[in-house]
Chain A
C-alpha cells in the first residue's frame, strides 16, 4: 500500500518563528489532507490539497503531485500552534480510506 512519510518528527520553535513541515507519499493520490491534532486529541482539518497551493491566514500548503510531496508552512508561529500535524492521503489504488503519516510534533515556546 501507499507509504506516507512526514518530516521532521519533532520540531521546537520560538514564538514568532516560521516553519516548514514535509509529507512524502509513494503513489499517486486523489485526496491529501493536513490535520492539526490539538492537545485534547481533536483532529482539526487544515487543508484539503491533493494539488496546488492554498493559504489560510498564517498557514499555507503546497502539494506537488507529480513529485509526490506536500509542504505545510506555518508563519509567525504561536504557542497555540503546538500539537501534532498529520498528513493523510487516499491513494488512487485504495478503496477510499485515508492513510496517515506518523506526524510532526510541534512545540512552540513563548
Chain B
C-alpha cells in the first residue's frame, strides 16, 4: 500500500486477555519499528526489526510483550495477560533502510492502534 497500515484501529479487551496488533509496512521497507504512546507523552520505542530478525528489543517492557516478522514484511505485536497499564496507542513505523549509520533514510508511521484494557 501507499503507507504504513495498522489494524485494528481500535481494540478494547478485558484485563488478562491476549491481543495481537498488526502492522503492514510500506512495500520494500526493510526496517520496521514498534512504539507505544501514552496520553500526553511522546512515542516510546519498543522493538525494531531488520528483515525478519529483531535487531533491538530493548524497549519491550516485560516478557508479556512479543513481536514477530516472519517473512520480513508484516509484523504482529503480541501482548499476553493484558493489564490496564498496557492501555496506549501502539504505533508502527517503517523505513527503507535501518536508520542507524545511514543518512537520508527516514521513518514513516502508521495511524496507530488504540488499545484499551478494561
Least Cβ distance of A5 to chain B in Å?
A: 11
- Residues of chain A contacted by B89 (CB below 8 angstroms): 41
Q: List 28 A-B contacts (CB under 8 A).
A: A30-B101, A30-B102, A30-B103, A31-B103, A40-B111, A41-B37, A41-B89, A41-B111, A42-B111, A43-B109, A45-B108, A86-B42, A88-B42, A88-B43, A88-B107, A95-B48, A95-B56, A96-B50, A96-B56, A96-B98, A96-B99, A97-B56, A97-B99, A99-B45, A100-B43, A100-B44, A102-B41, A102-B42
Docked complex: B14-33 residues within 8 A CB-CB of A: 31, 33
Q: Which of B33, B104, B112 contacts A98 (CB 8 A)?
A: B33
Please, which residue of chain A has its CB at the minimum distance from the CB of B34? A97
Interface size on A, residues (CB 8 A): 25
Least Cβ distance of B77 to chain A in Å?
A: 15
Docked complex: A22-45 residues within 8 A CB-CB of B: 30-31, 33, 35, 40-43, 45
**What does the 1/0 interface line of A2-35 toward B look like (CB < 8 Å)?**
0000000000000000000000000000110101
Interface size class of chain B, counting residues whose CB lies under 8 Å from the partner chain: 20 to 34
- Residues of chain B contacted by A40 (CB below 8 angstroms): 111
Contact yes or no, A101 B42, CB < 8 A? yes
Contact yes or no, B42 A94, CB < 8 A? no
Docked complex: B46-99 residues within 8 A CB-CB of A: 48, 50, 55-56, 58-59, 89, 91, 93, 98-99
The total of Cβ contacts below 8 Å across the A-B interface reads 75
Please, which residue of chain B has its CB at the minimum distance from the CB of A100? B42
CA A31 to CA B108, docked complex, whole Å: 13
Q: Which 3 A-B pairs have the closest CB atoms?
A: A96-B100, A100-B42, A43-B109
- Residues of chain A contacted by B107 (CB below 8 angstroms): 33, 88, 98
